[in-house]
Each structure stands twice: as structure tokens, then as C-alpha cells.
Amino acid sequence: MRIATWNVNSITARLPRLLAWLENSGTDVLCVQETKTTAEQFPTDQLRELGYESAVHATGRWNGVAVVSRVGLTDVAQGLDGDPGYEEVAEPRSVAATCGGVRVRSVYVPNGREVGHAHYAYKLRWLEALKQTVAADAAGPLPFAVLGDYNIAPADEDVWDIAAFDGATHVTEAERAALTALRETGLSDVVPRPLKYDHPFTYWDYRQLGFPKNRGMRIDLVYGNAPFAKAVSDSYVDREERKGKGASDHAPVVVDLEL
């Protein structure tokens, strides 16, 4: 089974590339983030024509997550237990489903904006709610993974220049501690570093030639429980999909399982 995660940065803008990528990549299950659309406007019909079912949690122009699968899709769960919300609004940042005997959760972790900002505090509360929500699945017998845009670089090596992030979000001790706490539920990073190149970044800013200069970050992660990790046979970042006109600023992260 081939499972992937991809922050598409607007599924409407990225739809032709998304459909072509699904046809060419052999992906069975895709976790999508930042759909930037409503559930009603999500391209369910176009995906169905390719043989994919969709589980969508989206409410408008910001955020939005989905799981699309061609190997079955059951037991859909939207949101988090005890979701803290931002400014008293629970945002569409998490959706889970069981696909072909594998449980997956697509997540779009809050950005945090600036250290000390209310959104940064919200990010940490949201990660705590994520930890509590996934604990049972992480400890369970079914292969399970939390895939998505975590908006956190787990280590200094996961950004192009740690000095450039001095005092910034995505690399703070509190954010990384939240990742550690999440892994302690029984999850591990199943995409090793390095892969087939020194810096397997997954995100490059559109500005200042971020991608041509490889000024990237590894913030799109796949955290799997023991049965999931044991089944992993390969993994890679599809850098080619970051190239060319109309690309997302994130690349897909792909994991192959032998079940």
C-alpha cells in the first residue's frame, strides 16, 4: 500500500496537478492539508472518477484537511477531542479514517505566527489535544499514522539554516517538546533522515528563490505506531512535484507499506 501526505496550498488551484499526480504515482491513500475550500466545493466527483473516496473536514478559504482513498474509507472522525479552537472557533485541522486496514489521521497543525502570539499558545494547546486524541489509536493493534503539515522542524538539521530561525516559531523548545510528547504515545518518525539526499526538506517558501536555493524545511511528517513502522518498506519526498508552474510550496511525502 502506498500512503502519502501533501499540503496542496489550495486544492482548487492545485487540482490538475493533484489528479495527474494521483494517476501517475500509484498512491492508494492521500492525506491532504490546506484545502482552502468548503466541503461542498471539494472535488469529490473528480476524485471519484479516478476511483477515490473522500473524507473532508473543511469550512472555507483557510485550513481544511481530507483523506482520499481507493482502498476503502470507513470510521471517519473529524476534529480533535477537546479541540481548543482559536478565538472560540474550532478550525478544520484534523480528519481520520480507516483505509484498507490502516488507520490514518491527516493533520494541519497551526502555524503559531510568532513566539508569544495568541496563535502560538493555541498551537501548543492544539498539539496537546492531538496527543490525547490519538493515544488510543497509537497504542492499538491496527497500523496507524498521523500524517501532515506539522509546522515544526523536529531538529536543527531539518531547516536550511538554523541561525535564520533565531527567535522564530517552528524550531522552539516548546514546539519540539510537544512533538516528543506526541511520539511518546507510541509513535515514531517513519521517514528517515537523510533519505537519498542530504536534506529531505518538504517545504520551500515561494519567496526569495527558496526552492532553487534549497532553503527549505522538513515540516511534513509521518508519525506511525509500531505496526505501521514495521510495515514500512520505503519512503521518499517527491521533490519533482515542487517544481514548475503552479506548484504547491510543499512536496508530497510518500510511504510504502508491506502489509
Per-residue pLDDT, 194 = 59
Is a pLDDT exceeding 80 seen at residue 195?
no
Q: Which three cell numbers stand for residue 241?
A: 512535484
Mean pLDDT, residues 94-114 taken together = 98
The distance from CA 125 to its chain's CA centroid, rounded to whole angstroms, is 18
**What's the half-sphere exposure (Cβ side, CA atoms, 13 Å) at 152?**
25
Structural domain that includes position 36: 2-257
The distance from CA 236 to its chain's CA centroid, rounded to whole angstroms, is 14
Q: How many of the other CB atoms lie within 10 Å of CB of 219? A: 22
Q: How many of the other CB atoms lie within 10 Å of CB of 9? A: 18
Q: Which three cell numbers stand for residue 255?
A: 510511504
Q: Which three cell numbers stand for residue 20?
A: 495527474
Q: DSSP secondary-structure letter at 54? A: E
pTM value? 0.97
pLDDT-based confidence at residue 62 (cuts at 50, 70, 90): confident
* Region for residue 231 given its phi and psi (left: phi exceeds 0; alpha: psi -120 to 50; beta: otherwise): alpha
Is a pLDDT exceeding 80 seen at residue 18?
yes
Per-residue pLDDT, 152 = 98
Mean pLDDT, residues 148-155 taken together = 97
Is a pLDDT exceeding 80 seen at residue 94?
yes
Mean pLDDT, residues 209-223 taken together = 95
Single-letter residue type at 116: G
How far apart are alpha carbons 110 and 126 in whole angstroms? Answer: 8
Per-residue pLDDT, 133 = 98
Are 95 and 65 within 8 A, CB to CB? Answer: yes
Collapsed DSSP state (helix, strand, coil) of residue 95: strand
Are 78 and 117 within 8 A, CB to CB? Answer: no
Mean pLDDT, residues 250-254 taken together = 97
Mean pLDDT, residues 106-133 taken together = 98
The distance from CA 207 to its chain's CA centroid, rounded to whole angstroms, is 22
Residue whose C-alpha is closest to residue 109's, from 159, 151, 64, 67 = 151
- In degrees rounded to 5, what are phi and psi of residue 175? -65, -45
pLDDT-based confidence at residue 200 (cuts at 50, 70, 90): confident
pLDDT-based confidence at residue 14 (cuts at 50, 70, 90): very high
Is a pLDDT exceeding 70 seen at residue 196?
no
Indicate which CATH number applies to the domain containing 152.
Answer: 3.60.10.10
Mean pLDDT, residues 4-10 taken together = 98
Residue whose C-alpha is closest to residue 165's, from 154, 178, 156 = 156
Q: What angle do CA 50, 53, 58 make, to 5 degrees?
A: 115
Q: What is the mean pLDDT of the chain?
A: 96
Mean pLDDT, residues 44-52 taken together = 98
Per-residue pLDDT, 198 = 57
Which residues 6+ apart lie within 8 Å of 120 measured at CB?
112, 113, 114, 169
Per-residue pLDDT, 197 = 54
Domain total for the chain? Answer: 1
Q: DSSP secondary-structure letter at 89? A: B
The distance from CA 237 to its chain's CA centroid, rounded to whole angstroms, is 12
Are 146 and 135 within 8 A, CB to CB? Answer: no
pLDDT-based confidence at residue 192 (cuts at 50, 70, 90): confident
